[in-house]
């Protein structure tokens, strides 16, 4: 059974600052991390590996530095890693990225169809949540989004191709049943990601990472990179700064504070 | 079990210098460096104005030129502060303090750069692994154990529990910085300490972003002494301009201070509010914060820097020039000395390291200024006089150890009549706001890594000293609840270890929390 997990390297949003003059990210001192949702997707894959002995392949599309996130995934227990990287992919929007990744996924499995492809719910830099669903379209696979738990019967390869997934929706949790192969996007309500062990990190630091460029799979040049991206970013700007709220201090008791608040709201 | 030839604990300047020098000197074996920070440079903290002599014999000319420091010192001054307004400019910068041409910048960035060079040399560096124990066999250090991860606050294993791992080495280099967890324990158990106790200063620093770049300000530095500390407290401030947009403002106070009411962070704010400092930072916005210990015991407090199976380098071995408050070049030099000793073979490596270390320029400096701190133990003027002697006589006079030195935990006087005073510093962050700027993060659901001993001692301390931990901690980790009990917000901790050395009852122990937790200094 083949599970593919797609991981994205993103800037650590906990200390991102916007330059007020140029409206661009201040990259100075900002670390790169694995997109947090993707870590949960990886954990689901590794749990299935623990239970069913699946083979876990991790793929990241990005600049050469993105190898770091692949090594982190290998350190936690992934089996193989591929970096999809080329100048030709630069400027890709979600459509072009989904197209490119779908080719890379097939290539990484020697054209075989994966049983399960996992993504994080969304990437914290763009927040679009479109790449996972896009890949499911390009690969023609079933899609389940916002998954917190995946159940597969053991020995799926032969007899059973069924899955049961619990998804987290606005109106509660849904239980979705369907057939593999499928693409799923995973939320943070899923199992906590595991830590990389020191032994795992040591092995990962020596592991081979295959780099795939547009020549590695026959990509249509009109569907990759900037040319393949119908999205045009007109302008990036931070939302207007909100004025601070007012704090009502607890002086005396609840009724006093409440009446003060009501007075404030009326005026 | 993992095996390596050399294990280095701590990827600060000292540890990285040792690892790199080994590889550059042709060492064929495996060199593994472990660090508890999430990523390179996150747990090192400094001014920093770096004496480039430390890079000699380690980096090439072009590597030194490519250091990630935007400026070199081009303008320096030294001031005595009389109060918040008045100050006297010392007409000449004391020769030992001169730093013309020294790189100015962030130590975290420099360490990140060194880590990249070291990895290219073949050094293996792993971040996010705290070493919680040295493995010893028949007294000899034979390896180390990393901390477990995924344990909840009750000590129960979470589903993502990761067990401790063992790594065996032919030699361990301890490069944990000031008051290192394993270093302190090794010094104690192997009786490596010198006759005089090691004492520390707490250094607190913010980076302030200026509203508009001030062209030409990059490379300017200022040191101060005097206000806001009194004559019997050891302390000094600094203002460094690493570039024309940012200013690094810091204050260090000797933790042998006696006034239990003293709050180092408040001293820092007073220092920032002075007229001289305001001239440098007016209108600026603090964007980064941190605090760390500086070993200040100097020459007479140097421990023996080796034990069977282990060498100690950098701040962990007390190697700081206490007059200039500079330790980076000594960290680098001691790391290089350790590597040179190893390159000659592992037999008798400890003694050989000690010899090579004693021949370094940095060590000679530590010796020369050996009486300055003792002088300050009387009062500031005697300290300054000792600094003068040290320079004019090349450290030959006085030849005896001056002053009396007590462990930092023993210097507080009981509070008789505490006048509570709150001072308002507009635009200057309070401790908790500053904690946010340090970027410190800890998994909340884990055992508290600050171990409190006997709570009865705290009650006694509360009466006598009014719980000084609530004031000396630069991250406001300790608070007294209404019922008198001590609350410990460990997730705010900056790993500075002040609490361990200053608690008057020696009732607190700092232990490494889950690896990768802690400040995110950049
Ligand atoms: C406010 C301030 C200003 C300063 N200004 C200057 C200056 O301008 N110039 C100058 O030369 N010096 C300055 N210093 C001193 C200088 O910062 C130190 O001398 C220097 O950083 C020491 O280097 P080190 O490698 O020994 O230790 P550190 O830099 O402290 O590095 C130790 C490393 O070990 C890691 N570590 C520790 N324990 C463990 C463990 N158990 N497991 C895993 N990893 C561990 C830490 O995470 C850290 O990365 C200043 C210090 C302070 C506090
Ligand atoms: S921890 Fe130490 S300083 Fe704090 S109250 Fe207890 S004894 Fe006093
Ligand atoms: S709790 Fe101790 S080590 Fe942590 S910041 Fe406070 S004084 Fe420093």
pLDDT digits (tens, 9 = 90+) for B233-282: 889 999 999 999 999 999 999 999 999 999 999 999 999 999 999 999 99
Distance of residue B88 Cα from the nearest chain A Cα, in angstroms? 37
CB under 8 Å to A247, separation ≥6 — which residues?
none
- The bound ligand whose nearest atom lies closest to the alpha carbon of B264 is 3
In angstroms, rounded to a whole number, what is the distance separating the alpha carbons of residues B418 and A110? 76
Q: How far apart are the first and last CA of chain A?
A: 66
Measured distance CA(B241)–CA(B221) in Å, rounded:
6
Structure tokens at B321: 């020039």
Ligand 1 atom 31, closest CA? B12
CB contact under 8 A, A31 and B520: yes
Question: Which member of B129, B159, B160 has the closest CB to residue A198?
Answer: B129
Tokens encoding A167: 């998804």
B129 touches chain A (CB under 8 A): yes
State the DSSP string of B380-395: HHHHHHHHHHHHHTTT
Task: Kindly give the distance from the C-alpha atom of residue B300 to the centroid of ligand 2, in angstroms, as a whole number.
Answer: 29
Helices A36-52 and A67-76, axial angle in degrees (round to 10): 30
Nearest to A93 by CA among A61, A67, A115, A49: A61
Q: How confident is the model at residue A159 (pLDDT cuts 50, 70, 90)?
A: low
Q: Average the pLDDT over each of A135-149, A155-169, A197-211, B291-305 and give the range with the smallest value.
A: A155-169
Count H helices and E strands in chain B, helices first. Answer: 15, 23
Rounded CA gap, A178 and A141, in Å? 11
B49-78 pLDDT tens trace = 999 999 999 999 999 999 999 999 999 999
Q: Which tokens sit at B224? A: 């101060």
Which tens digits make up the pLDDT trace of B180-191? 999 999 999 999
> Residue A200: its pLDDT value, please?
98
The size of the A-B interface in CB pairs under 8 A is: 44
Pocket lining: B320 vs ligand 1, CB cutoff 6 Å: yes
Q: Where in chain B is the domain with CATH 3.50.50.60?
A: 2-62+109-194+302-368
Q: What is the pLDDT of residues B213-222, one digit of tens each?
A: 999 999 999 9
Tell me which DSSP letter residue A28 carries.
Answer: T
Q: Best-predicted range by mean pLDDT among A190-204, A221-235, A244-258?
A: A190-204
By the 10 Å C-beta count (0-12 exposed, 13-18 middle, 19+ buried), B292 is classed as buried
CB contact under 8 A, B159 and A192: yes
- What SS3 state is found at B162? strand
Is residue A175 scored above 80 in pLDDT? yes
Statement: residue A10 has pLDDT above 80: yes
Q: What is the pLDDT of residue A261?
A: 87
Cβ B203 under 6 angstroms from ligand 1: yes
SS3 B230: coil
| Per-residue model confidence as pLDDT tens digits over B306-327 | 999 999 999 999 999 988 889 9
B93-144 pLDDT, tens digit each: 777 778 999 999 999 999 999 999 999 999 999 999 999 999 999 999 999 9
Residues within a 6 A CB radius of ligand 3 = B 450, 473-475, 477, 493-499, 510
Residue B112 in tokens? 């990140």
The counts of H helices and E strands in chain A are 6, 13
Q: Do A202 and B441 touch (CB under 8 A)?
A: no
List chain A residues with CB under 8 Å of B128.
196
Give the pLDDT of residue A155: 52
The set of long-range contacts for B442-446, using a CB threshold of 8 Å and a minimum separation of 24, is B442/B490, B442/B491, B442/B493, B442/B513, B442/B514, B442/B517, B442/B518, B443/B513, B443/B514, B443/B517, B444/B153, B444/B491, B445/B152, B445/B153, B445/B158, B446/B151, B446/B152, B446/B153, B446/B513, B446/B514, B446/B517
In angstroms, what CA-CA distances link B234 with B224, B225, B268, B383?
Answer: 12, 9, 13, 9
Atom of ligand 1 nearest to the CA of B290: 1
Ligand nearest to the CA of B290: 1
CB atoms within 10 A of CB A239: 6
Looking at residue B329, its pLDDT comes to: 97
Residue B419 has pLDDT above 70, yes or no: no
Mean pLDDT of B289-305: 96
How many whole angstroms from B419 Cα to the centroid of ligand 2? 20
* B288 touches B48 (CB < 8 A): no
The bound ligand whose nearest atom lies closest to the alpha carbon of B498 is 3
The pLDDT of residue A8: 96
| Domains of chain A and any CATH numbers | 2-266 (3.40.50.620)
pLDDT of A20: 66
Do B162 and A15 make contact, defined as CB atoms within 8 angstroms? no
Q: Please give the structure tokens belonging to residue B216.
A: 């030409």
Select from B176, B250, B336 the residue to mutate for testing ligand 1; criterion: most ligand atoms less than 8 Å from CB: B176
C-alpha distances in Å from residue A62, one per residue of A82, A201, A210, B428: 11, 21, 13, 41
C-alpha distances in Å from residue B352, one per residue of A84, A176, B20, B134: 50, 69, 19, 22
Cα–chain center distance at B212:
31
Q: Whose CA is nearest to atom 8 of ligand 3?
A: B496
Q: Which atom of ligand 3 is nearest to the CA of B510?
A: 3
What pLDDT, on a 0 to 100 scale, did the predictor assign at position B113?
98
* Integer Cα distance of B292 and B297 in angstroms: 16
Rounded Cα–Cα distance for residues B34 and B10 (Å): 6
Angle between helices B328-343 and B13-24 (to 10 degrees): 30
Name the residue among A57, A58, A59, A136 with its Cα closest to residue A94. Answer: A136
> A194 and B158 in contact by Cβ < 8 A?
no
pLDDT of residue A158: 47
ipTM confidence: 0.93
Q: Report the candidate in A105, A104, A121 with the shortest Cα–Cα distance to residue A113.
A: A105
Any CB–CB contact under 8 A between B522 and chain A?
yes
Which pair of tokens denotes residue B250?
Answer: 């810091």
Model confidence at A16: pLDDT above 80: no
Q: What percent of chain B has pLDDT above 90?
A: 84
Q: Where residue B422 falls among pLDDT bands split at 50, 70, 90?
A: low
Q: Rounded to whole angstroms, how far apart are CA atoms A71 and A64?
A: 12
Per-residue model confidence (pLDDT) at position B67:
97
**Average pLDDT for chain B:** 93
Is B386 a pocket residue for ligand 1 (Cβ < 6 Å)? no
pLDDT computed for residue A154 by the predictor: 59
The CA R_g of chain A, rounded to the nearest whole Å, is 22
pLDDT of res. A264: 85
Token pair recorded at residue A231: 């999205």
Report d(CA B225, CA B281) in Å as an integer.
Answer: 18
Neighbours of B289 (CB within 10 A): 27
End-to-end alpha carbon distance in chain B = 33
Residue A79 — very low, low, confident or very high, per pLDDT cuts 50/70/90?
Answer: very high
Give the residue on B whose Cα is nearest the Cα of A205: B124
Q: Is domain B2-62+109-194+302-368 annotated with CATH 3.50.50.60?
A: yes
Tens-digit pLDDT profile for residues B450-501 = 999 999 999 999 999 999 999 999 999 999 998 889 999 999 999 999 999 9
Say whether B129 and A195 touch across the interface (CB within 8 A): no
Q: What is the mean pLDDT of residues A90-95?
A: 93
Q: Quickly state the pLDDT bin for A127 (edges 50, 70, 90).
A: confident
Inter-chain CB proximity A195 and B124 less than 8 Å: no
- Residue A43: closest C-alpha in chain B: B160
Q: Band the pLDDT of B519: cuts 50, 70, 90.
A: very high
Phi/psi of residue B420, nearest 5 degrees: -90, 130
* Residue corresponding to tokens 């020596």: A206
Comparing CB atoms, the residue among B39, B126, B150 nearest residue A195 is: B150
* Residue B190: burial class (beta carbons within 10 Å; 0-12, 13-18, 19+): middle
The highest-confidence range among B369-378, B397-406, B465-474, by mean pLDDT, is B465-474
> What is the total residue count of chain A?
267
Ligand 2 centroid from CA B342, angstroms: 43
Mutate to test the pocket of ligand 3, among B43, B487, B496, B519 (most ligand atoms within 8 A of CB): B496
CA distance A99 to A76: 28
Q: Do residues B125 and B117 touch, judged by C-beta distance below 8 A?
A: no
> How far, in Å, CA of B105 to CA of B247, rounded?
10
């Amino acid at each position: 059974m083949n599970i593919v997990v797609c991981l994205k390297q993103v800037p650590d949003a906990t200390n991102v600052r916007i330059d007020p003059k140029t409206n661009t990210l201040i990259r100075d001192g900002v670390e790169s991390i694995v997109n947090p949702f993707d870590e949960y997707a990886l954990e689901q894959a590794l749990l299935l590996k623990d239970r069913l002995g699946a083979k876990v392949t991790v793929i990241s599309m990005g600049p050469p530095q993105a190898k770091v996130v692949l090594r982190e995934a290998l350190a936690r227990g992934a089996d193989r890693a591929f970096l999809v990287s080329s100048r030709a992919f630069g400027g890709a929007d979600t459509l072009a990225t989904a197209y490119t990744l779908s080719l890379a996924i097939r290539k990484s499995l020697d054209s075989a169809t994966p049983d399960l492809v996992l993504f994080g719910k969304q990437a914290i830099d763009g927040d679009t949540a479109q790449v996972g669903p896009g890949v499911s379209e390009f690969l023609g696979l079933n899609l389940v989004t916002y998954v917190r738990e995946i159940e597969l019967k053991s020995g799926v390869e032969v007899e059973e191709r069924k899955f049961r997934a619990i998804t987290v929706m606005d109106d509660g949790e849904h239980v979705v049943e369907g057939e593999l192969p499928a693409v799923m996007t995973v939320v943070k309500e899923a199992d906590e990601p595991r830590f990389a062990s020191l032994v795992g990190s040591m092995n990962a630091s020596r592991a081979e990472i295959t780099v795939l460029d547009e020549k590695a799979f026959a990509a249509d040049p009109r569907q990759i990179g900037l040319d393949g991206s119908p999205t045009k970013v007109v302008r990036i700007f931070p939302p207007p700064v909100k004025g601070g709220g007012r704090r009502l201090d607890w002086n005396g008791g609840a009724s006093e504070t409440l009446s003060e608040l009501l007075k404030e709201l009326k005026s | 079990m993992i095996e390596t030839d050399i294990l280095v604990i701590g990827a600060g300047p000292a540890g990285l210098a040792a690892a790199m020098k080994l590889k550059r000197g042709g060492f064929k074996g495996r060199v593994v460096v472990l660090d508890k920070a999430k990523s390179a440079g996150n747990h090192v903290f400094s001014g920093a104005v770096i004496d480039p002599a430390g890079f000699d014999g380690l980096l090439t000319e072009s590597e030194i030129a490519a250091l990630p420091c935007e400026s070199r010192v081009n303008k320096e001054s030294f001031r005595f502060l009389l109060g918040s307004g008045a100050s006297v400019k010392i007409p000449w910068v004391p020769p030992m303090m001169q730093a013309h041409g020294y790189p100015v910048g962030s130590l975290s960035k420099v360490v990140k750069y060194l880590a990249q060079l070291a990895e290219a040399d073949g050094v293996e560096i792993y971040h996010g692994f705290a070493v919680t124990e040295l493995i010893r066999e028949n007294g000899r250090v034979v390896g180390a154990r990393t901390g477990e991860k995924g344990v909840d606050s009750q000590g129960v294993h979470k589903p993502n529990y990761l067990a401790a791992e063992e790594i065996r080495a032919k030699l361990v280099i301890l490069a944990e910085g000031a008051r290192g967890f394993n270093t302190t324990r090794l010094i104690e158990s192997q009786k490596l300490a010198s006759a005089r106790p090691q004492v520390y200063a707490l250094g607190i620093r913010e980076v302030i972003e200026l509203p508009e770049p001030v062209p030409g300000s990059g490379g300017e530095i200022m040191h101060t002494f005097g206000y806001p500390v009194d004559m019997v407290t050891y302390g000094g401030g600094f203002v460094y301009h690493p570039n024309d947009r940012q200013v690094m403002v810091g204050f260090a106070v000797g933790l042998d201070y006696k006034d239990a009411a003293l709050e180092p962070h408040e001293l820092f704010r007073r220092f920032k509010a002075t007229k001289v400092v305001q001239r440098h930072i007016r209108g600026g916005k603090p964007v980064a914060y941190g605090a760390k210990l500086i070993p200040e015991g100097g020459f007479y407090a140097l421990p023996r820097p080796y034990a069977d199976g282990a060498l100690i380098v950098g701040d962990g071995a007390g190697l700081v020039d206490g007059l200039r408050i500079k330790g980076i070049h000594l960290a680098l030099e001691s790391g290089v000395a350790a590597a040179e000793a190893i390159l000659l073979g592992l037999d008798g490596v400890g003694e050989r390291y000690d010899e090579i270390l004693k021949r370094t320029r940095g060590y000679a400096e530590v010796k020369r200024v050996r009486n300055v701190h003792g002088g300050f133990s009387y009062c500031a003027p005697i300290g300054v006089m000792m600094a003068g002697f040290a320079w004019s006589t090349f450290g030959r006079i006085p030849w005896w150890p001056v002053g009396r030195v007590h462990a930092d935990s023993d210097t507080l006087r009981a509070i008789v009549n505490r006048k509570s005073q709150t001072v308002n510093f507009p635009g200057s962050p309070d401790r908790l706001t500053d904690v946010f700027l340090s970027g410190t993060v800890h998994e909340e659901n884990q055992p508290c890594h600050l171990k409190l001993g006997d709570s009865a001692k705290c009650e006694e301390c509360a009466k006598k000293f009014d719980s000084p931990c609530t004031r000396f901690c630069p991250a406001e980790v300790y608070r007294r609840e209404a019922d008198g009990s001590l609350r410990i917000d460990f997730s705010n901790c900056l790993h500075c270890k002040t609490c361990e050395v200053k608690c008057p009852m020696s009732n607190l122990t700092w232990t490494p929390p889950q690896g990768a937790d802690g400040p995110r200094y950049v």
